[in-house]
Structures are given as structure tokens and as C-alpha cells.
Amino acid sequence: MSFSLASKVALVTGAGSGIGEAIALRFARAGALVWAADVNEDAARNTIRLIREGGGEGEALRLDVTSDADFVAALARVPIVDVLVANAGIGHVGTVLTTSVADFERILSVNVVGVLRTLKTWMPGMVERKRGAVVITGSTAGLEGLVDRFAYTASKHAVVGMMRCAALDHATSGVRVNAVCPGRVETPFVKARLREYPDPEAAYREMASTQAQRRMGTPEEIANAALFLASDEASFITGAALAVDGGWTAGMFPQK
């Protein structure tokens, strides 16, 4: 089955790299006109270049999800969307003892309040038109606790809770709200980190060992799941946190 977004307008935040870029490219191949939004406008333009090289349609949009002014400007350019992907996010390493209040607030400002701003900017139009699909990029960190990821895990638990409440509040409006929750994914950022280790292959195996399939996912695999949730084929799915994690959250398994 091929999921189609033909004749739909999709907006993806954090679309300049990694999972966001993969989602933007996948949605364009499915027929959507994609607005690639990113705080790095050059990166967003590069995503659009790739979309157009593949025969798709799209436009780049600078969007800092911590800036109310950026959202006002973005809404003026893109007043109507059919599919909204709240993907922009950042990470942080630290425990409750090593995470500063400033770091915690910075993570929440992007990962939580940034999602809130995204939903409040474009969901009202969806509800008014009585149609639309929202996909939020969560994480396995929103489904369980992670060691040494105090702020990030808190933010992703908040995101999953926000998704469920938004889905319930608007369940009869024609607007569906879901989350895709990736495990460890081999993004360009992760690849760069791996190259910093003395033995990148051993580091990869260690990072992949949390997942039952013994490998990391690819951005394209997360994008495929996001496409399904955004498509009409998922019409009876709302309020779902879809784990795309190679079996990480399925249960206990030997990690060595």
C-alpha cells in the first residue's frame, strides 16, 4: 500500500536535518506541498532543494520555535496546512543533580513550549475546517525513563501527554493528533558523535544494544511511520504514541 498526501499542504518543523528532513522528503514524495521550517534557514532551503530535485514541491521557512514573532510571520506565509509535524527538538545529557535550571528551561522552551506554539499556531485553522492530521515527534524517552537524560526525558513525557490531551480535546473535530516515538536513530548528528569515539563500530554496537533488533533506526524509517499517521489510512488513529524503536520498549531482553 502506498500512502498518499496528494493535494495536501504539510508543514514540518525542524526540517533542516535528520528526522525532520527525512519526513519532509517522504511527504513530498507522497504528493504533499511541503513547507520545510527550521531555525537554520539555509538548512531548510537545502531540504527544499532535495525535494525539488526529486520532483516534489515545497518552500523553505525560517522558524525559531522559541520565538512568538517567528510564528506570527510563519502563519502569515502559511495560513492553512492539512498536515502539521511538530518535530523541532534538542537534546541534553545530565541527571537531576548535574542539570542546571537554565539547561532544563532551555530544553523545555524548545521541546515543550515549541510544540505548544506550533499547535496553537496551526491547529485552530484545522479545527475550523474540521480536518487535518498532526504528528508530534516524541521519543522512547517519552514512554519510559532514560539514564542521564533527565531534562530530555521530562520534555518528551510532557510532549506525549500534550499529544494525548490534544487528541482527546479534539477527537470529534475531524483533526487527529498522534506522536511517533523513535528509539535511537542514526541521524547525521549521531553519526558525527560516533566518529568522535576511538572505536566507532564498538560505539555503534553499544548504542544499538538497547534495541532488540540490535541496530539503530534510520531517519527514513521514522519518516515512513510519520507518513502513515498523517495519511487518511490512519483515519481511526488519534491519541497514539507509536514506538518506532526496534523493540526497545517492548520489554526486557539481553543487551549483550
In the chain (256 residues long), the average pLDDT of successive 10-residue segments reads 92 98 98 98 98 98 98 98 98 96 98 98 98 98 94 98 98 98 89 82 85 93 98 98 95 69
What pLDDT was estimated at residue 210?
84
Give the 3-state secondary structure of residue 208. helix
pLDDT at 161: 98
On whether the CB atoms of residues 24 and 13 are closer than 8 A, the answer is: no
The one-letter code for the residue type at 133 is A
Residue 233 phi, psi dihedral angles, 5° rounding: -65, -20
Q: Which residues pair with 192 in a beta bridge?
A: none
Which DSSP letter does residue 232 get?
G
What does the pLDDT read at residue 191?
A: 81
**Other CB atoms closer than 10 Å to residue 47's CB: what's the count?**
26
Active site residues: 152
* The listed CATH number (3.30.56.10, 3.40.50.300, 3.40.50.720, 3.40.50.1980) that belongs to domain 9-182+218-241: 3.40.50.720
Helix pair 113-129, 150-169: axis angle to 10 deg: 10
Phi-psi region of 146 (alpha: psi -120 to 50; beta: other; left: phi over 0): beta
Position 1 scores a pLDDT of 60
Count other C-beta atoms under 10 Å from residue 143's C-beta: 20
The segment(s) of the chain belonging to CATH 3.40.50.720 are: 9-182+218-241
Q: What is the pLDDT of residue 231?
A: 98
